[in-house]
């Protein structure tokens, strides 16, 4: 009955992140070209090098973060593993979850930019970059656990 189901972050998110990064790179280069007559060459070189370092870091770190992210969800507990330099392992018993918020973004079927937020006393746990189906399944599982807990304690679900 409480067999955990394993979810992984949506890999399509990486593609859309790269598309966004490419667009930002093109816009930044256009901006540098447009202001090149008004700003000294040294400032342009420093800005370009800083931007390049930022973009290289972003396109390296984000895909690894998405590949590492893993969520195990059952009616009793939720285990989250995410991170890049430092792996974060979180354990959230569903008995401590007050509410769950599901954020489904526009075009989320294509992009995978969906999030589930677990609201607990004194903390919030975020499960990022999921497919729409995964986000709804996790939300339904946690909501069912909350509903069972409230009914067994005599409380009325909202």
What confidence score (pLDDT) does residue 97 get?
92
What confidence score (pLDDT) does residue 4 get?
85
What confidence score (pLDDT) does residue 140 get?
93
Q: In what order do the strands lie in the sheet with 5-8?
A: 5-8, 70-73, 77-83, 87-93
Residue 129 φ/ψ, nearest 5 degrees: 55, 65
pTM for the full model? 0.78
What confidence score (pLDDT) does residue 150 get?
87
The alpha-helical segments, DSSP class H, found in the chain are 12-35, 41-68, 108-111, 132-152
| Nearest to 75, CA basis, from 5, 9, 126, 134 | 5
Mean pLDDT of the chain: 89
Cα→Cα distances 135→10, 104, 123, 157, Å:
11, 8, 20, 21
- CA end-to-end span of the chain: 25
Using CA atoms of 119, 123, 129, 135 in order, give the dihedral in degrees to the nearest 10: -20
CB atoms closer than 10 angstroms to residue 112: 25
pLDDT digits (tens, 9 = 90+) for 49-71: 999 999 999 989 999 989 899 99
Q: In the numeric block, which tokens belong to residue 45?
A: 């070189």
pLDDT digits (tens, 9 = 90+) for 114-136: 999 999 998 899 999 999 999 99
Q: Is 58 helix (H, G, I), strand (E, B) or coil?
A: helix
- The mean pLDDT of 26-42, rounded to a whole number, is 91
């Amino acid at each position: 009955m409480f067999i955990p189901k394993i979810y992984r972050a949506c890999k399509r998110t990486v593609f859309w992140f790269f598309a966004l990064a490419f667009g930002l790179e093109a816009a930044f280069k256009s901006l540098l070209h447009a202001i090149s007559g008004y700003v000294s060459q040294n400032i342009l070189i420093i800005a370009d090098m800083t931007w390049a370092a930022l973009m290289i870091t972003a396109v390296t770190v984000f895909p690894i973060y998405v590949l590492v992210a893993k969520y195990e969800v059952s009616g009793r507990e939720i285990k989250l593993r995410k991170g890049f330099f430092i792996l974060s392992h979180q354990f959230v018993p569903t008995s401590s979850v007050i509410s769950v918020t599901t954020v489904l973004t526009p075009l989320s079927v294509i992009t995978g930019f969906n999030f589930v937020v677990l609201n607990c006393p004194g903390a919030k746990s975020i499960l990022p970059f999921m497919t729409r189906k995964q986000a709804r399944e996790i939300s339904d599982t946690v909501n069912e656990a909350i509903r069972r807990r409230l009914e067994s304690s005599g409380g009325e679900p909202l």
